[in-house]
């Protein structure tokens, strides 16, 4: 019997949760399997599905409008019924709510799975109410043990086995390559120590902590720093004000410069709040780069302190400055050992192959149990 799974995401874009789903589908479609996959999303263009030979449904899934969500559910219910879908797998709060409505419309004739994409702020009644949608599906996938523990602590969960931990998988073939004329594009300083950060521009991600940390480095420290992320004018204005205030050498680059992370000596992830996974730190391992990460959340599972990378105290700029200086002064042979350790660790624990295998096993288990 062929198992049919419909994946629902928001806007089909190359980043975050959407990138994870894209890499999963690209890899799983290359395998002989008795599971057939479908994709529902808001497709702004065809670039997202260039290598995906699967049936798709293009609707406005990237919305918080309750009326649009309800009409989306009606369209998806028709799609599920006509294609005889067995499992709906949703990846954020809005699409999870949509999948729950679909289940009601079809009188519980299919199974719902949700993937927790973040350890969300639980302050306020409404926020806590919205977040619990992930736990109303038949099964929930957490991207780390700490994410599962977070929801177990904050919600009454009758069946802990409902939440399964499946780490994200990284496909190294999708990591950005350095263009031939990169020196002209970036105007790099000679022999500088290059510090990189790849994340959306947000106080949660901690760009402001890194900027302040650079201020505490010795005055004769020859460095340059790249902050890379999707364009966000208001956040960039705030960061530029900090750069001027602390008089530090920082370039703000947008997503098309994500390849610049390959040029960096270290990759910094100074999140001010617990990460549910820590994708950038894992990518650093695949690139054989040393990562310095906040000592909290998923980072504790994807980086081993002083073995595959280094921890820094959360929201502590002085401690981060000390860690940057420490890595800079490490003997090259010790740096090489840490890079190799990181590569071997992420290749074993966070490969796309392992991720695909675990998700397929879960789908089969779900069907067998129902």
Q: What is the pLDDT of residues 73-91, one digit of tens each?
A: 999 999 999 999 999 999 9
How far, in Å, CA of 274 to CA of 293, rounded?
A: 11
Give me the phi and psi of 180, to 5 degrees please. -65, -35
Q: What is the pLDDT of residue 120?
A: 60
pLDDT band at 210 (very low <50, low <70, confident <90, very high): very high
Residue 122 has pLDDT above 60, yes or no: no
Contacts of residue 4, Cβ cutoff 8 Å, sequence gap at least 6: 35, 36, 37, 38, 83, 84, 85, 86, 87
Looking up tokens 């599905």 gives: 49
Residue 123 has pLDDT above 60, yes or no: no
């Amino acid at each position: 019997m062929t198992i049919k799974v419909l994946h629902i995401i928001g806007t089909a874009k190359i980043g975050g949760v959407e990138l994870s789903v894209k890499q999963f589908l690209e890899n799983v479609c290359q395998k002989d399997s008795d599971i057939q996959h479908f994709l529902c999303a808001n497709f702004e263009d065809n670039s997202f599905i260039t290598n995906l030979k699967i049936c798709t449904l293009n609707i406005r899934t990237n919305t918080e409008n309750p009326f649009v969500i309800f009409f989306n559910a009606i369209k998806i219910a028709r799609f599920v019924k006509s294609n005889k879908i067995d499992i709906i797998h949703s990846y954020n709060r809005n699409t999870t709510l949509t999948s729950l409505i679909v289940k009601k419309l079809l009188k519980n004739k299919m199974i719902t799975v949700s993937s927790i994409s973040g350890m969300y702020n639980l302050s306020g009644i409404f926020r806590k109410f919205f977040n619990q949608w992930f736990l109303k599906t038949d099964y929930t996938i957490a991207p780390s043990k700490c994410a599962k523990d977070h929801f177990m602590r904050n919600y009454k969960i009758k069946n802990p086995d409902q939440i399964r931990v499946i780490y994200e998988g990284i496909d190294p073939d999708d990591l950005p390559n350095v263009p031939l004329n990169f020196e002209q594009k970036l105007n790099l300083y000679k022999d500088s120590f290059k510090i990189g950060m790849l994340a959306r521009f947000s106080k949660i991600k901690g760009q402001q902590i890194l900027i302040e940390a650079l201020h505490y480095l010795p005055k004769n420290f020859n460095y340059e720093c790249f902050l890379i992320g999707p364009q966000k004018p208001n956040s960039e204005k705030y960061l530029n004000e900090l750069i001027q205030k602390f008089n530090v050498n920082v370039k703000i680059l947008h997503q098309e410069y994500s390849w610049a992370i390959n040029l960096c000596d270290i990759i910094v992830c100074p999140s001010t709040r617990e990460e549910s996974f820590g994708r950038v730190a894992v990518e650093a391992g695949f690139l054989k780069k040393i990562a310095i990460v906040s000592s909290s959340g998923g980072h504790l599972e994807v980086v081993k302190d002083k073995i595959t990378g280094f921890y820094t105290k959360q929201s502590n700029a002085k401690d981060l400055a000390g860690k940057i200086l420490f890595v800079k002064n490490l003997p090259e042979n010790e740096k090489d050992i840490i890079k190799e350790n990181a590569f071997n660790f992420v290749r074993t624990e966070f490969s796309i192959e392992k991720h695909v295998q675990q998700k397929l096993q879960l789908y089969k288990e779900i069907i067998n149990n129902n």
